Structure 1
Amino acid sequence: MVESTLTQALNVLGEPLELCSCEPMTGWFRDGSCRTNGADMGRHTVCCVLNEAFLSYSRAQGNDLSTPAPQYGFPGLKPGDHWCVCAPRWLEAHQDGMAPPVRLVATEQSTLEVIPLELLRQHAA
C-alpha cells in the first residue's frame, strides 16, 4: 500500500517522487519519502542534504537533530545525511541565510504552496 501511494506522489518538478533517505529513515510516515498528509502540521516535504550550518541553526531554533534519541529510535543526524525538513522551517532557514541544499527529485510537490520553485532551484543539490 505504501508503494502505490509513493508512486502517486509527485515531486516539485511534476515527476514521480523519489525516496529521500532510508538510512537514516526519514519522512512524516518514516518510509524514506517526504510525502505528507493533513495530519503533518509541520509539512515535512523538503528533502535536504544536511550540513553543519543547518544542524547548528536547527539546534539554536530548539530542534536538535544531531543528538541521538535512542528511546525514539532516532540515531541523530550528521552532515551529508538526507532528511525531510519542514517546508516552513526550510524557508525560515533560507531567510536567515542557513538553508541546506535541496534534492528536488525527492521534495514533495505540495512544498510549492510554501516555497517558490525558483528558490528551491537556487538551492538544488
Structure 2
Amino acid sequence: MTRSGLNVLGGDLMPCSYDPLTGFFRDGCCSASDEDAGSHVVCAKLTQEFLDFSRARGNDLVTPRPAQRFAGLKAGDRWCLCAMRWLEAFQAGVAPQVVLESTHKKALQLVTLAQLREFAWAPH
C-alpha cells in the first residue's frame, strides 16, 4: 500500500512500519500534511543511541503511554521522525539510518539527499 506523495528518490512513498504503527496519521506512512507541525517525514531505523538523544532533548520515545495507545519504541523499530530532530541527531553524530523509499520528499526542505543517502538502510 502506498500513500499519496513522493519519497526523496522521486518514487511513490512506501510504508515505513505497521508494527509499531507509525506516521502522523498512524497509517504506517511518513506522509506530509499541513496538520503535522512537526513534519514527521523521515522513516528511520531507531538505535538506542538515538533514543537516548531524543529523550535528552525532551522527546521520550521509549516510555509506554497506554492512554495514547503508544507502547514505547526500542532499537531496531522503524518510526517516522520529525525532519528537524533527524537533522539535530545528524549534526550531533547520532543520526539513525533512514529508509529512503519511505521518507517523504518534504524532508529535503531541511536535509539534503546526500545526508540521507549517507545513512540509507534497505529493509530487504
For residue 77 of structure 2, the aligned residue among 81, 93, 108 is 81
Match of 1:22 among 9, 18, 23: 18
What CA distance in whole angstroms lies between the structure 1 residues aligned with 2:69 and 2:34? 24
Give the match's secondary structure for 1:78: coil
Matching residue within 43, 47, 53 for 2:43: 47
Report the CA distance between 1:14 and its aligned residue: 0.2
Residue of structure 1 equivalent to 2:58: 62
Counterpart CA distance in 2 for 1:16 and 1:109 is 10
User: RMSD value over aligned CA atoms?
Assistant: 1.1
Q: Given residue 82 of structure 1, which amino acid in structure 2 is its aligned partner?
A: R
Corresponding residue to 2:119 among 97, 118, 123: 123
1:104 corresponds to 2:65: no
Q: TM-score by structure 1 length?
A: 0.94
Q: 2:81 aligned with 1:91, yes or no?
A: no
CA deviation after TM superposition for structure 1 residue 9, in Å:
1.1
Q: Displacement of 1:70 after TM fit?
A: 0.5
Q: Distance in 2 between matches of 1:120 and 1:37?
A: 21
Give the letter for the 1:51 counterpart. T
Structure 1: 5+ residue stretches without partners? none
User: Which has the larger share of strand?
Assistant: 2
How big is each residue's C-alpha offset from its partner over 1:39-98, in whole Å with a ceiling of 9 and x where there is no partner? 211100000000100000000001000110001000100010000000011001110111
**Aligned structure 1 segments of 4 or more residues deviating by more than 3 angstroms:** none
TM-score (norm 2): 0.95
List gaps (5 residues or longer) in structure 2: none
